[in-house]
Structure 1
């Protein structure tokens, strides 16, 4: 965990931002996990993560193993949530039932994959309202991820929701928008700026116009793309400081194959998912500084 009390001159925060004790916590995705919860959590703790972001396991035995590992290694947790159903009404029922279940475990927050890109504005708004009611009742923050296929699949569409729903808060995974708009969003500044100001949680994956994940953000050919993402994330930090926020959570979320490009025939991943995510965490720890 970082406490943001100082920042080097290289950090580009919005003009007028004043530093405070904004805490930044880093969570490890278990996407692609191929080992036991105990082994995975030991590795996450040793790498320097504060917690884990995951879906709640449906199997009771696996849930017990997961919570035991969280406690053993002193890790906090964020849960993901979504819905399923053949139509909107069944989706709404499933979404709310799932959310009520996950908040009962008292995660740091719940990150929702909310709605569908083909649902109407009113339908997606009803899902957001249902999540807000559960959040108020439980006291657990609920945020909604910018994600392809969801209500928030595009910058200009999300802007309309943010304008019409004042308490809507986001998980920013802006890599999706780079892919959807096939650009680095230079012509979507108003929508992006509004999204940055309403973000409580970040997925720090690096996207580009032709895809939601570069093959390796450490490679020099992605320098400009990485720098653009860093500027966006700086904008979130600056907005949090300006708003007097006390906590920002970050999950480096580069994915495994097939999100990670692979070599043909052998399907060997071209980079190490684990190493990239640890790199992203350490890059941001260095960027935002330790007290």
Structure 2
């Protein structure tokens, strides 16, 4: 009898461990190609060597370059996340462009599509139409469609994004909270309710460190930015923890420090004060160490 009970106990422990293993959150890291001047093959080779799982990029309009991108991704075993948006002199033109670009991006079968959606001056109903277009594409193509918190878009400010989230339950975010730090000239201590709601609806993270006077610190490794970096890490920790608590299997993160111009530069020479590639790899290693699987 004791042997039988022991066998049952061991079997139960096995299935418990197996279930826990199955539910473990996997985090995939993507490298931005923003500012890249190398060929797609050279770029993807560097990305793979650095330890990324994939690349996040705007879909090239040139078909030859598009093929070079896909060939390089396949060669180095890298995943693809796509950015998408719209343009046009009128809202109607923007909406048609947004829909066309999103459908074209979905045709490439990326892991996800991160949308720069709408304008800060479009009405709620106009921006909602664009969000609804994203929902239709997501359901039709079975590809996650997220909407990035970004200056100039419907989601440029924490308090206004809160209103969209409250009224559109299906809305899911690509969180680039660095923009909000800049817009609100703070680390958002007075926007905690809006931030908490945004964190709960985040499916993709842009891991860039913003501050009250800009969307990108010069170098996140510099000790003077420790408090600011720690605050961003606390926000991202909450996203990771919530994903784990609800049994999510995947979270995607892009390290997205930008090139010179976005990266602060010295006067006259325009020499960047830090190396973009090194800063992004620093963020990759910081996050991979923090969220070990």
Q: Same fold (TM over 0.5)?
A: yes
C-alpha offsets along residues 25-82 of structure 1, whole Å, 9 cap, x if unaligned? 0000000001100000000000000000000000011011100000000000000000
Which of 29, 41, 46 matches 1:43?
Answer: 46
CA RMSD of aligned residues (A): 0.9
CA distance in 2, matches of 1:134, 1:286: 35
Name the residue aligned to 1:157.
Answer: 160
Counterpart of 2:220 (choices 207, 217, 222) is 217
Q: Which residue of 1 aligns with 2:147?
A: 144
Deviation by residue 1:184-210 (Cα, 9 ceiling, x = unmatched): 000000000000010010000000000
CA distance in 2, matches of 1:138, 1:192: 30
Q: CA deviation at 1:246?
A: 1.1
Decide which structure has the larger Cα Rg and report it.
2
SS of residue paired to 2:147: strand
Shift of 1:240: 1.1
Deviation at residue 20 of structure 1 after TM alignment: 4.2
Corresponding residue to 2:285 among 265, 282, 286: 282
- Residue 57 of structure 2 aligns to a residue in which SS? strand
Give the deviation of 1:239 after TM superposition. Answer: 1.4
Q: Deviations over 1:209-267 (max 9, x none)?
A: 00000000100000000000000000110111122211100001000010000111111
Does residue 126 of the first structure (1) align with residue 129 of the second (2)?
A: yes
TM-score (norm 1): 0.92
Alignment of 1:31-110 (within 5 A): 31-110=34-113
Equivalent position of 1:265 in the other structure = 268
The whole-number CA distance in structure 1 between the counterparts of 2:28 and 2:198 is 20
Residue 203 (structure 2) pairs with residue 200 (structure 1): yes
Tell me, in whole angstroms, the C-alpha distance in 2 between the residues paired with 1:158 and 1:244.
26
Mapped to 1, the partners of 2:127 and 2:242 lie a distance apart of 26
Large movers: runs of 4+ above 2 Å: none
- Whose helix proportion is higher, 1 or 2? 2
Unaligned runs of 5+ in 2: 1-21
- TM-score norm. by structure 2 comes to 0.92
Aligned to 2:28, the other structure's residue is in SS state strand
- Specify the alignment match of 1:233 in structure 2: 236
Q: Secondary structure at the match of 2:215?
A: coil
Question: SS at the partner of 1:35?
Answer: coil
Q: Where does residue 191 of structure 1 map in the other structure? A: 194
